[in-house]
Amino acid sequence: MTQRPLGFSTRSVHGHPAPKAVWSPVAFPLYQSSTFINPVGSTDEVLYTRYGNNPNQVEIARRLAALDGAEASIFLASGMGATALAHLAVLRPGDHLLSSEWIYGGTRRLFQEEFGRLGIDVSFVNPDARRSWKQYVRKNTRAVFVETPTNPLMRVLDLDPLASLCRSEGIPLLVDATFASPLNFRPLDHGADVAIHSATKYLNGHSDVIAGAVSSSEPIVSEVKRLMQVWGQSLDPHSAWLIERGLKTLAIRVERHNANGLAFAAWAERHPAVRSVHYPGLAGHPDHAVARRTLSGFGGMVGMALKGGADGAERTLRKLQLVMHAPSLGGVETLASEPRLTSHARLTAKQRSDQGIPDGFIRVSLGIEDVEDIIADFDQALAD
Ligand SMILES: Cc1ncc(COP(=O)(O)O)c(C=O)c1O
């Protein structure tokens, strides 16, 4: 084997391959077992699936570390579990967390409803006001959290200046880049200390698993693992097995998601019933330049505001035949949802509109179908 670094597709299929023994299975076997026969009298770590050392859990962690360019990775039972434990691994009571305000609603709830009672204070920053990050750093600020690309406006944050601020302050930068997947963006390559994934989305890719993952240094991942063992968010072996299978096709799936996202956004931009389209691959997107510089692909997520408002969006969603009305994203099938009823349901119509998400906004997660069919479906659904 050459010393050349392996390509992304090869790492998706193999991780860092070890020579395989003859007669060993080509597909990774499923170890659907809660426990394992441990040697009598041994002081070695006990093998037990809640401890995160089931072979299916270990294999996907090894594979993700190779994709994220991380020292170590760990999978958990959900993206929320990953976000919670990644933060608890670096924060203590009395600490302050500085968070972007452009984050997933569930993460916001975690910070607002739970972190306070753990003695962790959280403040939110609008990432558009770039200079304000430093101004909000306090003596007890012990971590910074951002999400990129963001939901549902697909804003793309320039991590490099934020990473250098975090380095100079000696605090870790945690980044949820679920919307990008490691094919399009690897936060650790841009100075982040911790990458967080909802593996429910692109990593698994088939809308049949709830899972999360954290990639970072060995000490941080070990601490996440310790917390997982005592708080109990380990991933079920069958879900791990499905993710292993999903990871093998991550590269080609995401290439198709990227192509479909771009084609759909370009089509939607020209449609008379559409007021605005939010996709970082479009020249008019506010972060197009950052996206071109930092992303390997613009992704499969497209936001669009319809001229017909909430009624128009509902009419359109009811008429769709191929595209399914469902939250979540990153699966092989195209899904559409309305932020006013999902991620942004807790805000008033005015608050949403002030944030650039007026009623009538539809978020589309492009699947890997033939994009002409998705466009034709929306075309008939948007017709009067
Ligand atoms: C960006 C982002 N992070 C985290 C999560 C939470 O992931 P999960 O549903 O796997 O807990 C989601 C869920 O939609 C998300 O969109």
Per-residue confidence (pLDDT) for residue 3, from 0 to 100: 74
Q: What is residue 372's three-state secondary structure?
A: helix
Hey, whose CA ends up nearest to atom 6 of ligand 1? 79
Neighbours of 327 (CB within 10 A): 14
Residues whose CB falls within 8 Å of the CB of residue 209, separated by 6 or more in sequence, listed in order: 199, 200, 239, 242, 243, 246
Active site residue 104: yes
If the chain, 384 residues long, is cut into consecutive pieces of 10 residues, what is the mean pLDDT of each piece?
A: 81 81 92 97 96 98 97 98 98 98 94 97 89 91 98 96 96 98 98 98 98 98 98 98 98 98 98 98 98 98 97 98 97 97 89 92 98 98 93
Give yes or no for residue 153 CB within 6 A of ligand 1. no
| Cβ 75 vs Cβ 212: under 8 Å | yes
Give this prediction's pTM: 0.97
Q: At what angle do helices 371-382 and 309-319 cross, to 10 degrees?
A: 130
Per-residue confidence (pLDDT) for residue 329, from 0 to 100: 98
Per-residue confidence (pLDDT) for residue 1, from 0 to 100: 53
| Cβ 157 vs Cβ 112: under 8 Å | no
| Cβ 247 vs Cβ 64: under 8 Å | yes
Distance, in Å, from the CA atom of 248 to the CA atom of 245, rounded to the nearest integer, reads: 6
| Cβ 321 vs Cβ 267: under 8 Å | no
Give yes or no for residue 105 CB within 6 A of ligand 1. no
DSSP-derived letter for residue 115 is I
Per-residue confidence (pLDDT) for residue 130, from 0 to 100: 63
Q: How far is the CA of 147 from the centre of ligand 1 (A)?
A: 11
Give yes or no for residue 103 CB within 6 A of ligand 1. no
Active site residue 160: no
| Cβ 187 vs Cβ 157: under 8 Å | no
Give yes or no for residue 181 CB within 6 A of ligand 1. no
Per-residue confidence (pLDDT) for residue 182, from 0 to 100: 98
Distance, in Å, from the CA atom of 382 to the CA atom of 384, rounded to the nearest integer, reads: 6
DSSP-derived letter for residue 176 is E
Distance, in Å, from the CA atom of 114 to the CA atom of 208, rounded to the nearest integer, reads: 28
For residue 253, give both structure tokens.
Answer: 């799936």
Active site residue 201: yes
Question: CB burial class (10 A; 0-12, 13-18, 19+) of residue 158?
Answer: middle
Active site residue 176: yes
Hey, whose CA ends up nearest to atom 15 of ligand 1? 104
Neighbours of 3 (CB within 10 A): 4
Tens-place pLDDT, residues 327-372: 999 999 999 999 999 988 888 999 899 889 999 999 999 999 999 9
Tens-place pLDDT, residues 175-214: 999 999 999 999 999 999 999 999 999 999 999 999 999 9
Per-residue confidence (pLDDT) for residue 96, from 0 to 100: 98
